[in-house]
Amino acid sequence: MAEKGVKVFGMWASPMVIRVEWALQLKGVTYEYIDEDLGNKSDALLRHNPLTKKVPVLLHDGKPIAESAIIVEYIDEVWKDGYPIMPADPYERAQARFWAKYADEKCNAAIYPVFTATGEAQSKVVHEAQQCLKTLEKALEGKKFFGGDAFGYLDVIVGWYAHWLPIIEEVSGASVVTEEELPLMKAWFDRILAVDVVKETLPPRDKLLALNKARREQLLSA
Amino acid sequence: MASEKSSSDLTLLDFWVSPFGQRVRIALAEKSLPYEYVEEDLLAGKSDRLLQSNPVHKKIPVLLHGGKPVNESLIIVQYLDEAFPDTPSLLPADPYARAQARFWADYVDKKVYDCGSRLWKLKGEPQAQARAEMLEILKTLETELGDKEFFGGEHGFGFVDAAFAPFTPWFMSYEKYGEFKVAEVAPKIAAWAERVGKRESVAKSLYSPDKVYDFIGVLKKMYGIE
């Protein structure tokens, strides 16, 4: 008999995991959070996501779902009478999915090198990250959030930038999201950080900063 | 393939042999939706219309609905389900089944074309690695398919079937370059490929394995690969 309830297999510093928490909290769903040691993954995680073995995994009444963007849509569909995460209009939904994919495939790949680049190489990767984010920023034009007036799907998917990017900037000494280069995104950061479910779930800044400093040192000395 | 202007006001910018474009053609056929098919001659260059409709990626397929562009093949297929709810849907109704379908379509999307391309582009050790990965991908999909007639299971021919079916004519080329047989490595996938190839929406959207093999030959010449 499958156990009832909602579990999230996550890791406190993971931005992919936080998306799932935001979605669940927007819907007012109670869940058990299991913090994984990614260097020593639990049997349960490996059993529930044998293919990629990654977090987040959502377990709903014993049934597992992997891939954060897919989990967020699932949550929206199951708790359909709660806070609307996806836009209602099919064309808007397609646009939201398009930008989510763009952000995850292109922007994440452009941001990651900023974390480790040093010296002259840094300005090149910063420029590329900015180009990617500028393209994404177009979807914010004339709006408070990517979702329009309210925090929506695309905000759930990329909202992590508001907390994690300033930390990446501090750790690497790079300046990516500036008033000059990305004014809309910078203003949106402030709105994201003021959203209730965001405030209630973000990992403590000092802890996240320390972890990323250590990780960067480790990567640079490897 | 419909070529006259249609009452559903759908236009598809596409390239004949693209498995990504074919997913959309299959979905449109499953839904009996009329549309204008526009062949983009990608080997000659990209049209202004394509560049304007997909400025971010500059890629086909692009669906224009009332002139508004939708990009990315799997996003287009989901859009068709949602914009035309009175037509047969490719995604199932149940949220858990939908999540599983999205997961496996995403898996096909991330793995098959890229790995297949490395199989015919590369030689030596990198090619051997691509071969090993392709076998792994086929076995993984075999396990997911299991004894189901279609990946869609109870739903019937569905989202994952539409996502993966366009790669079936590429199997022959993967087999030649990788020196393996799909029927030996993943017999259930081979049987599914045959079944799905007979389905009308698929049969009229795909080109023969020989045509795909020849096309790869054209690409190799273009890239200067022997």
- On the question of pLDDT at B93 being above 60, the answer is yes
| Distance between A17 CA and the closest CA of chain B, angstroms | 17
Beta carbons of A167 and A205 less than 8 angstroms apart: yes
Top pLDDT among A3 and B75 is at B75
The answer to whether the complex's ipTM is over 0.90 is: yes
B70 contacts in chain A (CB < 8 Å): 91, 94, 98
Q: What is the pLDDT of residue B7?
A: 61
Q: Using CB atoms, pick whichever of A51, A78, A98 lies closest to residue B140.
A: A51
Q: Do A91 and B70 touch (CB under 8 A)?
A: yes
Contact A70 B76 (CB under 8 A): no
CA distance B215 to B197: 20
pLDDT of A40 over the 80 cut: yes
Considering chain A, what percentage of its residues have pLDDT values greater than 70?
99
Helical spans, DSSP H, in chain A: 15-26, 43-48, 68-78, 90-102, 108-116, 119-137, 153-158, 161-172, 183-194, 196-201, 205-221
Residues 6 or more apart from B160 whose CB is under 8 A from it?
B101, B104, B105, B108, B151, B152
Beta bridge mates, A107: none
CB B148 within 8 A of CB B142: no
- DSSP string for chain B: ---S--TT-EEEEE-TT-HHHHHHHHHHHHTT---EEEE--TTT---HHHHHH-TTT--S-EEEETTEEEESHHHHHHHHHHH-TTSPPSS-SSHHHHHHHHHHHHHHHHHHHHHHHHHHH--HHHHHHHHHHHHHHHHHHHHHHTT-SSTTGGG-S-HHHHHHGGGGGGHHHHHHHHT--HHHH-HHHHHHHHHHHHSHHHHTT---HHHHHHHHHHHHHHHT--
Query: What does residue A58 show for φ and ψ, rounded to 5 degrees?
Result: -100, 130
Q: How far apart are CA A165 and CA A136, in angstroms?
A: 15
- Contact B224/A at CB under 8 A: no
Q: Is the pLDDT of residue A43 over 50?
A: yes
How far is A45 from B183, CA to CA, in rounded Å? 33
| pLDDT tens track for B152-192 | 999 999 999 999 999 999 999 999 999 999 999 999 999 99
CB contact under 8 A, A98 and B72: yes
How high is the pLDDT of residue A129?
A: 97
Of B68, B71, B106, Cβ closest to residue A98: B71
- Using pLDDT thresholds of 50, 70 and 90, give the confidence band for residue A222: confident
d(CA A65, CA A48): 8
Q: What is the pLDDT of residues A156-208, one digit of tens each?
A: 999 999 999 999 999 999 999 999 999 999 999 999 999 999 999 999 999 99
Contact: A101, B95; criterion CB under 8 Å: no
How many Å apart are CA B174 and CA B88, to the nearest integer? 32
Is residue A130 scored above 60 in pLDDT? Answer: yes
A101 contacts B72? CB cut-off 8 A: yes
pLDDT band at residue A119 using 50, 70 and 90 as cut-offs = confident
Interface of B with A in 67-86 (CB under 8 A): 68, 70-72, 75-76, 78-79, 82-83
Record: contact B95-A78, CB cut-off 8 A: yes
Nearest to A98 among B68, B75, B100 (CB): B75
Among the partner residues B71, B82, B99, nearest to A70 by beta-carbon distance = B99
> Cα–Cα distance between A139 and A136 in angstroms, integer?
6
Residues of A with CB under 8 A from a CB of B: 51, 60, 63, 65-67, 70-71, 73-74, 77-78, 90-91, 93-94, 97-98, 101-102, 135
The mean pLDDT of chain A is: 96
Q: Picking from A154-158, A215-219, B41-45, B171-175, which range would have the lowest pLDDT averaged per residue?
A: B41-45
Is B99–A135 a contact, with Cβ atoms under 8 angstroms apart? Answer: no
B113 CB near a chain A CB, below 8 Å?
no
What digits encode the pLDDT tens for the residues B106-122?
999 999 999 999 999 99
The pLDDT score that the predictor gives to residue A1 is 57
Q: Cβ of A91 and B71 within 8 Å?
A: no
What number of other Cβ atoms are within 10 A of residue B200's Cβ? 10
Nearest to B56 among A66, A93, A135 (CB): A135
| Helix, strand, or coil (residue A57) | strand
- Burial group, residue B66, by CB count within 10 angstroms (0-12, 13-18, 19+): exposed
Identify the band that residue A25 occupies on the pLDDT scale cut at 50, 70 and 90. Answer: very high
- Average pLDDT estimate for A34-46: 97
Residues in chain B: 226
> Which among A63, A73, A94 has CB closest to B75?
A94
Record: contact B95-A74, CB cut-off 8 A? yes
Task: Calculate mean pLDDT across residues B26-51.
Answer: 95
